[in-house]
Amino acid sequence: MMTSHSQLWWLLCGDRNQRKPLVEKTVTYPWPLKTLAQQGSLFFWIRYDVASFLTYRVLYSGELEVRVRFSGFRNTDDEWVNVRRGVRERSIPLEPSECHRVKFRDLVLCFQDREAQSIYFDAHIIEIQRHLHDPQSCSCIFRVRYDHDGTEENVGLERICCRPMQH
């Protein structure tokens, strides 16, 4: 679903701390309804659903940021989020019958279960061991390399989530 809003396009000028509206224009957001945003500079993804995109700005460096309101949070909790690094469509778990969609080198969200913490992190598929199985349970093994620390681990399909447009 596309939504249009009249927004101010902010551009950092001069000392980078002074924001100045460049032009007011109507913007069409191509983002789907179910979108996640990453809070701050964290390495892991917390499931913060985006309630709305309030405005956007182009930084002096050329990076695009959006001001987001997270579902269930107040307007005082709105944050600027880098679009390239911090906004993505919600990742979803795959059904056992869909395991064939996971490919070598795919970027996935993988549940890393450690003694100190258990969190979803970005990871890449580096090896796949396919096994025959029925549509109700997958016995394939996926070797992943976590982006945040480079560790590798064998995981089952139940610990992997993929973005819908990836598949």
Q: pLDDT of 13-24, one tens digit each? A: 223 333 333 333
Same domain, 53 and 108: no
pLDDT at residue 44, rounded to an integer: 52
Q: What is the mean pLDDT of residues 132-160?
A: 94
pLDDT at residue 110, rounded to an integer: 92
pLDDT at residue 21, rounded to an integer: 35
Domain boundary among 89, 114, 132: 89
Count how many Cα atoms sit within 13 Å of the Cα of residue 49 in the half-sphere of its side chain: 6
pLDDT at residue 19, rounded to an integer: 38
Same domain, 75 and 137: no
**Whole-angstrom distance, CA of residue 5 vs CA of residue 152:** 44
Task: Name the residue with higher pLDDT: 155 or 81.
Answer: 155
Domain boundary among 89, 113, 146: 89
Same domain, 46 and 71: yes
**Whole-angstrom distance, CA of residue 136 vs CA of residue 153:** 24
**Whole-angstrom distance, CA of residue 69 vs CA of residue 67:** 7
Same domain, 82 and 102: no
What percentage of residues in the chain have a pLDDT greater than 90? 40
- 129: CATH: 2.30.30.140
Same domain, 98 and 60: no
Which of 5-19, 56-70, 84-98 ranks highest by mean pLDDT? Answer: 56-70
What percentage of residues in the chain have a pLDDT greater than 70? 70
Question: How many domains, in total, are found in the chain?
Answer: 2
DSSP for residue 16: T
Q: Give the tens place of pLDDT for each residue, 33-83.
A: 355 555 554 455 555 778 889 999 999 999 999 998 888 889 998 989 888
In this model, does residue 142 exceed pLDDT 90? yes
Domain that holds residue 47: 3-89
Angular region, 133: left φ>0, alpha ψ -120 to 50, beta rest: beta
Same domain, 136 and 115: yes
Same domain, 81 and 17: yes
Same domain, 85 and 118: no
Provide the mean pLDDT of the chain. Answer: 75
Same domain, 10 and 78: yes
DSSP for residue 78: -
Same domain, 117 and 81: no
Same domain, 31 and 64: yes
In this model, does residue 160 exceed pLDDT 50? yes
Contact 74, 122 (CB under 8 A): no
Q: What is the mean pLDDT of residues 119-145?
A: 93
- Tokens representing 68 are 């987001």
- What number of other Cβ atoms are within 10 A of residue 63's Cβ? 13
Domain boundary among 33, 64, 89: 89
Q: What is the mean pLDDT of residues 80-102?
A: 88
